[in-house]
């Protein structure tokens, strides 16, 4: 059994196999032995790489190895803390940890805490402490502020999707969390990208870390077939409906740019007798959880979503992802299409490209080192031509990464107009 060679307990190695990992992925191969030694780890791992198991497996083993008398020293003690950016990722990580721990002789207590729902049930769940707490930063600070958790007892800390945590503006909350943790702990830091902010945060929380980079470039999994289809902007919904029926797609995750678009496209598909629904940040936590559960159970054929679902959503054997609106960056493109083709399963990613977005799509291609045939579907041949824009109008568009003016650009523009900086 390959996982045994990494130093894992037989029960955990078997649990990994039960989750569909027939052999360790590259991030698991490098991270698991490093974590088991007790070292801090700084790891770059792209979406779909198996990173959750890469830290969850050795974390569970480390907890098993702690002396029995040190378990739950205080009533609200937390021994392992996993901080994640979104509610969906918190729920997913919690499910993975629980699944991997099922066969352990000492069953760890795993609690998931995130915002968007009442804090009271989470406080009740944390009575007596927890072996593993998976939490979003804001809710974690709320719990600490109400004395519902004792973070000074944390032995292992994991920051998952660290770049996403910073993108969502959690830097201040993370700094507050770090002040509540003991200086002597093992810290694991997983991030898809290593921006300056990410590296600065790593320097604050890690001590002489083992550095792992098995995903230095953001490339889609090889099992994903990628297609690009030229289509007029106002024909995209009709084309989507045609492809769903013509290709016999049973489950499709469709990415759009806005919450309004998610609702509008879902409504149009539903009226066309395609079971579609929207998924975005304005839905309550309960509604979002229900949509995902029903989608996984194949009760919905199509879910129309914003980039909320581009990370941290694991839907087993999801066959198709569609970029109805192109993502703002090449990295976001990888995260989106990475929802399909997971755990060795085949997947299909389709991008709709209009005359106005063709140049942006070629930028994504260039950064991914690929070149796709721009297909034309019979009956949906495009007639649009790219809209010429004045430089200032193009700068104000803002929808595509790289077109919005930077702060320095804005200051220069104001200076040129003789206006004082705002």
Confidence band, pLDDT 50/70/90 cuts, at residue 162: confident
C-alpha span between 69 and 251 (Å, rounded): 49
pLDDT of residue 219: 54
For 230-254, write each residue's pLDDT tens digit.
999 999 999 999 999 999 999 999 9
Q: DSSP code of 311?
A: S
Q: What is the mean pLDDT of residues 129-143?
A: 94
Confidence band, pLDDT 50/70/90 cuts, at residue 22: confident
By the 8 A CB rule, do 60 and 100 touch? yes
Three-state secondary structure call for residue 75:
coil
For 364-388, write each residue's pLDDT tens digit.
998 888 889 999 999 999 998 887 7
| Residue 20 reports pLDDT greater than 80 | no
pTM: 0.64
Q: What is the mean pLDDT of residues 94-118?
A: 89
Q: Indicate the pairing of strand 130-135 with strand 78-83.
A: parallel
Helices (H), 188-258: 196-205, 236-247
Handedness of CA 201, 206, 208, 214 (dihedral sign): negative
All residues at 6 or more sequence positions from 114 whose CB lies less than 8 Å from its CB, including other chains: 86, 87, 90, 91, 135, 136, 139, 285
C-alpha span between 28 and 45 (Å, rounded): 10
Closest residue by Cα to residue 160 from 26, 18, 51, 39: 51
Q: What is the mean pLDDT of residues 35-43?
A: 93
Q: Indicate the pairing of strand 374-375 with strand 224-230.
A: parallel
By the 8 A CB rule, do 310 and 335 touch? yes
User: Which residue would you say has higher pLDDT here, 19 or 355?
Assistant: 355
pLDDT of residue 218: 53
Q: What is the mean pLDDT of residues 68-84?
A: 72
Confidence band, pLDDT 50/70/90 cuts, at residue 407: very low
For 282-312, write each residue's pLDDT tens digit.
888 788 888 988 998 889 999 999 887 766 5
Confidence band, pLDDT 50/70/90 cuts, at residue 390: very low
C-alpha span between 109 and 105 (Å, rounded): 13
Q: What is the mean pLDDT of residues 38-50?
A: 82
Q: Quote the mean pLDDT of the chain.
A: 84
By the 8 A CB rule, do 351 and 228 touch? yes
| Residue 168 reports pLDDT greater than 80 | no
Domains along the chain?
A: 2-213 (3.40.50.300), 224-375 (3.40.50.300)
For 306-329, write each residue's pLDDT tens digit.
887 766 567 778 899 999 999 988
pLDDT of residue 213: 83
Work out the percent of the chain whose per-residue pLDDT is above 90.
47
pLDDT of residue 196: 80
Confidence band, pLDDT 50/70/90 cuts, at residue 216: very low
Closest residue by Cα to residue 322 from 365, 351, 280: 351
By the 8 A CB rule, do 166 and 94 touch? no
Q: Of 169-173, 201-205, 311-315, 332-336, where does mean pLDDT reach its minimum?
A: 311-315
pLDDT of residue 418: 53
| Residue 4 reports pLDDT greater than 80 | yes
Please state the length of the chain. Answer: 422
Q: What is the mean pLDDT of residues 214-240?
A: 81
By the 8 A CB rule, do 254 and 304 touch? yes
By the 8 A CB rule, do 88 and 288 touch? yes
| Residue 201 reports pLDDT greater than 70 | yes
Q: What is the mean pLDDT of residues 334-339?
A: 85
| Residue 414 reports pLDDT greater than 90 | no
């Amino acid at each position: 059994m390959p996982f045994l060679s990494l130093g894992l307990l037989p029960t955990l190695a078997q649990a990994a196999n039960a989750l569909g990992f027939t052999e360790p992925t590259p991030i698991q191969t490098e991270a698991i032995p490093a974590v088991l030694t007790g070292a801090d780890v700084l790891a770059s791992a792209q979406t779909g790489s198996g990173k959750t198991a890469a830290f969850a497996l050795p974390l569970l083993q480390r907890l098993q190895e702690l002396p029995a008398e040190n378990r739950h020293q205080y009533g609200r003690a937390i021994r392992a803390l996993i901080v994640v950016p979104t509610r969906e990722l918190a729920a997913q990580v919690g499910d993975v940890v629980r699944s991997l721990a099922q066969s352990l002789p000492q069953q760890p207590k795993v609690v998931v805490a995130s915002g968007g729902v009442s804090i009271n049930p989470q406080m009740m769940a944390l009575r007596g402490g927890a072996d593993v707490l998976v939490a979003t930063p804001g809710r974690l600070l709320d719990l600490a502020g109400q004395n519902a958790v004792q973070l000074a007892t944390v032995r292992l800390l994991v920051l998952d999707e660290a770049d996403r945590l910073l993108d969502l503006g959690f830097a201040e909350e993370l700094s507050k969390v770090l002040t509540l943790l003991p200086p002597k702990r093992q810290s694991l830091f997983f991030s898809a990208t290593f921006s300056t902010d990410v590296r600065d945060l790593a320097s604050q929380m890690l001590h002489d870390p083992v550095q792992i980079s098995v995903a230095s470039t953001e490339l889609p999994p090889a099992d994903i077939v990628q297609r690009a289809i030229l289509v007029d902007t106002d024909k995209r919904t009709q084309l989507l409906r045609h492809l769903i029926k013509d290709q016999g797609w049973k489950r499709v995750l469709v990415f759009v740019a806005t919450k309004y678009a998610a609702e509008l496209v879902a409504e149009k598909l539903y009226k066309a007798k395609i079971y579609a629904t929207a998924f975005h940040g304005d839905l309550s936590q309960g509604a979002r959880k229900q949509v995902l559960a029903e989608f996984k159970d194949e009760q919905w054929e199509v879910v129309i979503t914003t980039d909320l679902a581009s990370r941290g959503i694991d839907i087993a054997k999801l066959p198709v992802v569609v970029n109805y609106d192109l993502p703002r960056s090449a990295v976001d493109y990888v995260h989106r299409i990475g929802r399909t083709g997971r755990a060795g399963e085949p997947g299909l990613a389709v991008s709709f490209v209009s005359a106005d977005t063709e140049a942006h799509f070629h930028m994504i291609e260039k950064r991914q080192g690929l070149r796709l045939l721009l297909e034309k579907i019979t009956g949906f041949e495009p007639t649009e031509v790219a809209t010429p824009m004045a430089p200032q109008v193009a700068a104000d568009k803002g929808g595509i990464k790289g077109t919005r003016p930077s702060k320095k650009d804005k200051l220069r523009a104001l200076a040129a107009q003789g206006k004082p900086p705002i």
